[in-house]
Structure 1
Amino acid sequence: MKAVLFLLVLLLLSVIPASAADSSRVDGTGSARIDELYSDIESFDVTFYSSQEEENLTLEMSLVKPGVNEKVVSTQEFSTGSFPANTKVTKAGFWNVRNAERGAYTLKAKLLDQGEVLSESEYNFVYGSNSALRLQVDDLVPNSEGIAVVISPKQASLFDIEYMLVDGHDVVYRTKTEKASLTSVPETFSASWGTLLENNKEYSGRVKIKVYSPSRGFISSTENFTARDDAEITDIYEDETGASATVFGRSQVPFEGSLVFTVYKVKEGSGHNSSVLVESARERVPVLLTDDDETVEVAWKERLTEGVYRLEIELTGNDGDLIERRETIIESDLPPANASEVSPDAGRETPDENEGNGIPGFSFTAGILGIFIVFGFIKKLH
């Protein structure tokens, strides 16, 4: 019996160290690890990676003021969600530090799985000092189409610009301009969002600029915006038979609006505001994104007869809101339908209406006889 107990103890001792070694994955020694880290006093981003698919790990971010008595300024904790193997994933966040003190700060980041630290990393920066970087951001404007940033050089510089579209902590789209340059004057740099946006939803547009000289450094800037469906009328055509309008997309929110064509007859001798409704038609605009265009046509139920008409074209958005209105004039010289039916045959008799006052087919026979007479005359001349 003692021998059996001794063997069981040996077996347990051999298993426990092995399992402990498998779970110890701090500082990137295991599968999941923090790959890149950046922060300033306003925002941060963290890029992590795993050689295997992961599900709902936790990121713990702490902004710390180092010193004899280390002070935690702000903390955030959020889920990574699920992410595939061998793919770098970036999350971003925003600090809300009021009356920030000048000086050194440290971002401490931990990647955890059910409380167990898989990887941790730190990033140090200084807030409020005179920056040695050669660039500064003068303005940043994100909207539903994309993002634009105005950058001024302090000295001639080469740099990279990373554009990020942020939804909460998720970087849902990112693109980069590499080896951009400035010499002496400010310049605008821009990028379009390459993903679909949700109407009436708030996003953040963020730029992160990497400067190479005199030493590698970063500048970041962020602005919030609300995504809206947007489009404009670029061309219209109208006549007495119908009208058309070309609509140009100006947003990454899918535009699913309508065009309303309304025609009024202007009363003769009256002002612009004195008119009578003739017809109105609503047509759906095919779905548009940024830089897409579609032409929508409508035909009047009846052709517009002689007179002056006012055409009103309204472009409405996804929520039925009015985006743009155009007005123009249609001038028609088309006679009324009943007049056009009578005038071509007025005073003209037809064989059925001759009532015996002529010989049926006479005109045709006379024509043939005339051709023979002319032919004989020409022959005599020769």
Structure 2
Amino acid sequence: MKALLFLLVLFLISVPQASAADTSQVDGTHQVRISELYSDLESYDVTLYSNQPEEDLILEASLVRPDRGNEEAIATQTFSTGSFPANTRVMKVGFWDIRNAERGAYTLRARLLDQGKVLSESEYDFVYGSNSASRLQVDDLVPNSEGITVALSPNQASIFDLEYMLVDGHDVLYSTKTEKVSLTSVPEAFSASWGTLLENNKEYTGRVKVRVYSPSRGFIASAENFTAIDDAEITDIYEDETGASATVLGRSQVPFEGNLVFSVYELQESSGSGSSVFVESVRERVPVLLNDDDETVEVAWEERLTAGVYRLEIELFGNNGDVIERRETIIESDLSASNASEASPDAGNETSGEDGGNGIPGFSFATGVAGLAVVFSLFKKLH
């Protein structure tokens, strides 16, 4: 009897397990949903997830405020999600333009649509202007072509996550996260570099989202616009009477495709006015640079600079032909005109014998002696 009762109990327990297995098979079909939401009165983000690739779904985001028992939709934005891959969390970002905002409760209501059919919907509630101060506050935010920097001040010792985002329209082009960062009592700046290429003269938005763990999970977000530009700097130069070089360091995620121009001017001491006479100019392309890449560009003068003092001007031109940086230095040469001629690249082609007066080159004399020795040796063997 006990054995029969045991088998009956075992059968009853196994029935829900079989049902759960059937549910997991149903979950394996096409699913697309809104997995996470956040909003304040400046910006919002909606995280989407699908187990299949998606194309051109419609996301509708509404900012709603209770009004005497009713709801008032303050702002609504509708846009295409474009395409996104399967099994990947994809974040879409939007920005509110709310003026004269009132304190109180607000709701972000998001719906994901496909040809008018609601695939998923979700809500996020928040309060604007509450008296409860956050553990952290954003003091400043500076995004640029290199990356993004945020200055945070702690109201209390805090542990938090920092997420940096590069936003173009509603799309997050690049994001990176630093987890379990801490602040105790002193403000501190945190930075991240963009890990993607930027387009020259295009406007982007840099956004940070701070997740504070306690006393309960909360978020702080801040965003600023910037225009991406190509940028670089000259970090080191070398110069002498034979040529010059300059090392260029990239300072942007816009690919730098600029040029260096080396110009030499001879200073005129006799004039007393500090004037100079143009000697020559050399233009060289700088290899393509990104942020923190560096390359050294070398040039040689057409002729070695003779004795005198010269002014070397080095100009770094950007992608659009604008001068990004200009450096000047002095070249002091003590090379006489005759020495310069002898040391010139063409000097090796001139004839100069060892005894000077007979006009016979040294190497020709040595060759002649060796030839005579060979002929004499052969003559002895024949006789």
Aligned partner of 1:83 in structure 2 is 84
Deviation at 1:69, TM superposition (A): 2.6
Aligned partner of 1:56 in structure 2 is 56
Output the CA distance in 2 between the equivalents of 1:175 and 1:188. 16
Structure 1 position 131 matched with structure 2 position 129: no
1:140 is paired with a residue of what secondary structure? Answer: strand
Structure 1 position 142 matched with structure 2 position 171: no
Aligned partner of 2:199 in structure 1 is 198
Counterpart amino acid of residue 100 in structure 1: A
Counterpart amino acid of residue 47 in structure 1: T
Counterpart amino acid of residue 80 in structure 2: S
Output the CA distance in 2 between the equivalents of 1:48 and 1:30. 14
Runs of 5+ unmatched residues, structure 2: 1-25, 343-351, 360-383
Q: How big is each residue's C-alpha offset from its partner over 1:44-82, in whole Å with a ceiling of 9 and x where there is no partner? A: 001001111111000000001123231111110111101
Q: Is the 8 A contact 2:30 2:52 kept in 1?
A: no
Aligned partner of 1:352 in structure 2 is 358
Output the CA distance in 2 between the equivalents of 1:216 and 1:350. 93
Counterpart amino acid of residue 278 in structure 1: V
Structure 1 position 157 matched with structure 2 position 162: no
Aligned partner of 2:5 in structure 1 is none
Aligned partner of 1:224 in structure 2 is 225
Aligned partner of 1:66 in structure 2 is 66
Output the CA distance in 1 between the equivalents of 2:129 and 2:248. 48
Aligned partner of 2:285 in structure 1 is 284
Deviation at 1:280, TM superposition (A): 0.6
Counterpart amino acid of residue 110 in structure 2: A
Deviation at 1:273, TM superposition (A): 4.7
Q: Is the 8 A contact 1:102 1:129 kept in 2?
A: yes
Q: Is the 8 A contact 1:42 1:95 kept in 2?
A: yes
Deviation at 1:352, TM superposition (A): 2.5
2:288 is paired with a residue of what secondary structure? Answer: coil
Q: 1:350 to 1:156 in 2, by over 3 A?
A: closer
1:105 is paired with a residue of what secondary structure? Answer: strand
Aligned partner of 2:3 in structure 1 is none
Q: How big is each residue's C-alpha offset from its partner over 1:145-184, in whole Å with a ceiling of 9 and x where there is no partner? A: 0000010011111000000000000000000010000011
Counterpart amino acid of residue 34 in structure 1: I
Counterpart amino acid of residue 85 in structure 1: A
2:56 is paired with a residue of what secondary structure? Answer: strand
Aligned partner of 2:93 in structure 1 is 92
Deviation at 1:338, TM superposition (A): 7.8
Counterpart amino acid of residue 215 in structure 1: S
Structure 1 position 41 matched with structure 2 position 38: no
Q: Is the 8 A contact 1:262 1:279 kept in 2?
A: yes
Q: Is the 8 A contact 1:133 1:214 kept in 2?
A: no
Deviation at 1:38, TM superposition (A): 0.3
Aligned partner of 1:246 in structure 2 is 247
2:358 is paired with a residue of what secondary structure? Answer: helix
Q: 1:236 to 1:71 in 2, by over 3 A?
A: same
Between the two proteins, the alignment pairs up a number of residues equal to: 325
Q: How big is each residue's C-alpha offset from its partner over 1:168-204, in whole Å with a ceiling of 9 and x where there is no partner? A: 0000000001000001100011100000000000000
Q: Is the 8 A contact 2:234 2:247 kept in 1?
A: yes
Moved over 6 A (4+): none
Output the CA distance in 2 between the equivalents of 1:300 and 1:30. 69
Q: Is the 8 A contact 1:133 1:213 kept in 2?
A: no
Output the CA distance in 2 between the equivalents of 1:203 and 1:85. 26
Deviation at 1:340, TM superposition (A): 5.7
Counterpart amino acid of residue 32 in structure 1: V
Normalization by structure 1: what TM-score? 0.81
Output the CA distance in 1 between the equivalents of 2:164 and 2:300. 46
Output the CA distance in 2 between the equivalents of 1:92 and 1:298. 49
Q: 1:286 to 1:170 in 2, by over 3 A?
A: same
Q: CA RMSD in A?
A: 2.3
Deviation at 1:98, TM superposition (A): 1.0
Deviation at 1:217, TM superposition (A): 0.5
Counterpart amino acid of residue 35 in structure 2: D
Deviation at 1:128, TM superposition (A): 1.1
Aligned partner of 2:32 in structure 1 is 32
Q: Is the 8 A contact 2:203 2:226 kept in 1?
A: yes
Aligned partner of 2:106 in structure 1 is 105
1:268 is paired with a residue of what secondary structure? Answer: coil
Deviation at 1:339, TM superposition (A): 8.2
Counterpart amino acid of residue 63 in structure 1: L
Q: 1:100 to 1:336 in 2, by over 3 A?
A: same
Structure having the higher Rg: 1
